[in-house]
A = this chain, B = another copy of it.
Amino acid sequence: MNLTKEQKQEIKDQQSQENKTKRVTAPELEKVLYEVIPILDHGFIRVIDYMGDDTSIVQAARVSYGKGTKKVSTDSGLIKYLMRHWHSTPFEMCEIKYHIKLPIFIARQWIRHRTANVNEYSARYSILDKEFYLPAAEHLAAQSQNNRQGRGDVLKGDQAKKVLDLLKNDAEQTYNNYETMLNEKYDGSIIDENATGLARELARMNLTLNTYTQWYWKTDLLNLMNFLRLRADHHAQYEIREYANAMLDTVKKWVPITYEAFMDYRVGGTEVSSKGKKIIQKLIKGEKINVEDSGLSKREWNELMEAFNLKDKLI
């Protein structure tokens, strides 16, 4: 990731602000505000703004449940209760805004979370930076044989090199031709003074999906947790998981109590179906169980056994 001199100065200016406010603040998050947190080879996330903290959640819950919340004596106890029982609206009282640089194919996954506010760099108006994602060798994996959406073993030397070369050459060539069609270099210099360039809104179609884009992305804490639950999960694609993990860190700095409850009840938890509950009950009683009588498919059976780390019961 290369920041221009201008960008570095802008960030420095933002960080040197020292404003007074009567709003609640999150001191740990303030420390990293505006900071560039690098992701992948050219990407980053930056926390640009936020609103509320753990006490905002408690405040909203207490207005909802009024005198009814007196019994839950601590803020921590109340937040855990809310998380456990899937109360949603108190967590919507907190808001956060990120500046994110990410490859287009990841942006396409990301945007499917519809509840956020987004302002993306527009290639209709402006020329995209000459930056594209190339996976590190250890992330260049083969298609998984038993999971249609997963990765298998890492590619070996020769094949890995070949793939990387193809990705690099194609990205560079298509970007160069993008400049040729625009009749303009990425730095704004004109290529041929006597020619006219193709409209930007057309030329962009020649770029490959690993080209980097950037956006401001703003969401409330509830929807952020829904995003992180899916995208920090080990089923998520490695590239988006890297972003999700870095964002988890910012959540920890922002709302530490909520973070802890989230890790316990959502990220580290599991769901058990009606049929699954019966199997667990039998296991606890020491009764014999088998997949045929369980009503579970083979796949469901294994998912249940894995959730409770019962490796010996896998079939």
Binding site for B on A (CB under 8 A): 14-15, 17-25, 30, 33-34, 49-52, 56, 59-61, 63-69, 71, 77, 80-81, 84, 86, 89-90, 92-93, 95, 97, 99, 103-105, 107-108, 111-112, 114-115, 117-122, 124-127, 133, 135, 140-144, 148-153, 155, 159, 163, 166-167, 170-171, 173-174, 177, 180-182, 188, 195-202, 204-210, 214-216, 218, 220, 230, 237, 263-265, 267-277, 280-281, 283-284, 286, 297, 299-300, 303, 307-310
Which chain B residue lies CB-closest to A313? Answer: B284
Copies of this subunit: 4
Q: Are A122 and B273 in contact (CB under 8 A)?
A: no
Docked Cα-Cα span, A214 to B284, in Å, equals 48
A147 to chain B, nearest CB (A): 9
A157 to chain B, nearest CB (A): 13
B18, B103, B135, B163: which contacts A22 (Cβ < 8 A)?
B18
| Residues of B with C-beta under 8 A to A270 | 271-272, 277
Q: Are B22 and A214 in contact (CB under 8 A)?
A: no
Q: A155-B198, A174-B208, A268-B273 are in contact. List 13 more A-B contacts (CB 8 A).
A: A14-B22, A20-B21, A23-B33, A24-B49, A49-B51, A51-B51, A51-B95, A60-B216, A61-B119, A67-B127, A68-B149, A89-B112, A170-B177
| Residues of B with C-beta under 8 A to A22 | 14-15, 17-19, 30, 33-34
| Residues of B with C-beta under 8 A to A49 | 23-24, 51-52, 56
Can you pick out 22 interface pairs between chain A and chain B where the beta carbons lie within 8 Å of each other?
A17-B24, A24-B49, A64-B122, A77-B297, A89-B119, A93-B216, A103-B205, A112-B118, A135-B202, A140-B202, A141-B198, A150-B199, A166-B177, A167-B205, A170-B170, A204-B209, A206-B210, A267-B274, A269-B272, A269-B273, A269-B274, A280-B308
Given A93-B216, A167-B206, A218-B93, are A143 and B23 neighbors across the interface (CB < 8 Å)?
A: no
A307 to chain B, nearest CB (A): 7
| Residues of B with C-beta under 8 A to A23 | 17, 19, 21, 33, 49-50
| Residues of B with C-beta under 8 A to A122 | 64-66, 68, 149
A235 to chain B, nearest CB (A): 8
Docked Cα-Cα span, A270 to B92, in Å, equals 24
A167 to chain B, nearest CB (A): 6
B97, B111, B182: which contacts A51 (Cβ < 8 A)?
B97
| Residues of B with C-beta under 8 A to A71 | 148
Docked Cα-Cα span, A54 to B223, in Å, equals 25
Which chain B residue lies CB-closest to A295? Answer: B264
A76 to chain B, nearest CB (A): 10
Docked Cα-Cα span, A64 to B218, in Å, equals 14
| Residues of B with C-beta under 8 A to A124 | 149, 237
Q: Are A143 and B182 in contact (CB under 8 A)?
A: yes
Q: Are B197 and A205 in contact (CB under 8 A)?
A: no
Q: Are B280 and A68 in contact (CB under 8 A)?
A: no
Q: Are B65 and A148 in contact (CB under 8 A)?
A: yes
